[in-house]
Structure 1
Amino acid sequence: MSSRASSEERSPLQRAVSKVPEVTLAFWILKIAATTLGETGGDWVTMSLKLGYAIGTAIFTVVFIGLVYAQVKAGKFHPTLYWATIVGTTTLGTTIADFTDRSLGLGYAGGVAIVAALLVISLLVWHRTEGTVSVQSVNTPRVEWFYWCTILFSQTLGTALGDWMAGTDRGGLGLGYETSAVIFGAGLAIVAALYFWSRVSHTLLFWAAFVLTRPLGATLGDFLDKPHAQGGLSLSRLYASLVLIAFMVACLKLLPQRPARQGAAAG
């Protein structure tokens, strides 16, 4: 009886925050794995199964909405559900970016510009509505939808950035997957240094890291499944995706996944 009363007396903020994991090293390991899986999984559906970018985007949009709805409705933090929703944003982000760059013929630079604008708009609307874009502000269903839409746009931007820097077609910079991965890894190292040795807002650094881990994962995913002639390892997209799923399951079993504490640093 007392435990039930204690649960009922918890504030909406405490209930909502308990569905968001602590931002630890384990969080970022899983995030990079999820973004790489989003690249290989999205490409498997659109390219290997030859469904195309439009159909792939439609399929993953339904999956994304369903997973976010389940996440918002959940009464507490479920690690598997949370990371499944993250994967849902990465696969949808992959297909949206590819549809924009290739099917609409805007090229990589055009896709980056559009998605970057959508991400900025999402953050501005969220901040104007709630007064903050901190992860710790996720205290109502409305803010949870802001959170997941912002994550979706950050994942999509990451895919577009990764393709733009690594690709040699559609106006790509042609740096290759290995060089691009090193550049994005260096960017993450700078963000980490600022986190530990500066007074830069942790909220700002969190979103910067969230964006940068996506192109890192995208370039790693491309490196796994692209042909040797394009600088990749030419692995089966399905095989690479299954390996990444197994890795994430192992991480969820072995690495601690605790809900974020109220008042903890956002990033």
Structure 2
Amino acid sequence: MSAQEDQNRILALQKGINFRELGGYPTQDGRHLKWHKLLRSGTMNRLTQEDIDYLIDYGLRYDIDLRSEDEAQVSPDKLRNTVVYQLTPVYPFVDQTTGRRFKHRLKHLLGHAKNQPLMGDTYTQMITDSHPQETYRNLFETLLMNDEDNSSVVFHCAAGKDRTGVGAMLVLSALGVDKELIRKDYLLTNVVLGGGDKHAIKAMLTSTGNAQVDQMNAGMGVESSNFDAVFAAIEAESGTVEQYLHDKMKLSDEDLEQLKNLYLE
């Protein structure tokens, strides 16, 4: 693997969807994210043997699957058994999600952001519902386990944009990346998916029979308004992003410092 290939934002895979490196991003304390440590992606059920060999050589050791059990069953990840696989679905939401009580709670949580259009309130629920909170806590637990050099964790959903996007927002925030740079990483999905063969990509996103999941996967882009809603909900829940990481992700000051030691240089 050449030095140039070593530091590409978009990995050179034949059948990867939205497969990206998070290495190289600067943090507010003057450091940078290490390469070969943190990856985000869409579904990995159609990776070629060459793709799999590439990822193993790249250092992939942990695969965090944020999809539903139905999605994982219909389109299982294709990787070697040397990669530790964890299925930790973001869906279903388990708290009150319908009716007037929930709508009232959303308005209360979002405050000044309540007039922003949301994708079916789903982004806000990924922040406020106890089930996805547990899922993202698991992601952080795995990141803390990944303590070897050039050993990568990938977290992914189907298109690698919504559930994965929220996960990236939380992880990059914990590592001290500037909020507007996190927004740019989130919106990079529009470039990656928008520049590909949309029909081919949609064909790879197999229907699961779950209407909510299929609706989320059907869209080929992301919106800045949903990014704003996520951070508005975080701040409404806990006051600051750092406090949310303490309260909901159960990360101590020592955990956050350890994450930075592992993923920054």
TM-score norm. by structure 2 comes to 0.30
Greater C-alpha radius of gyration? 1
* Higher percent of residues as helix: 1
* Bigger strand share: 2
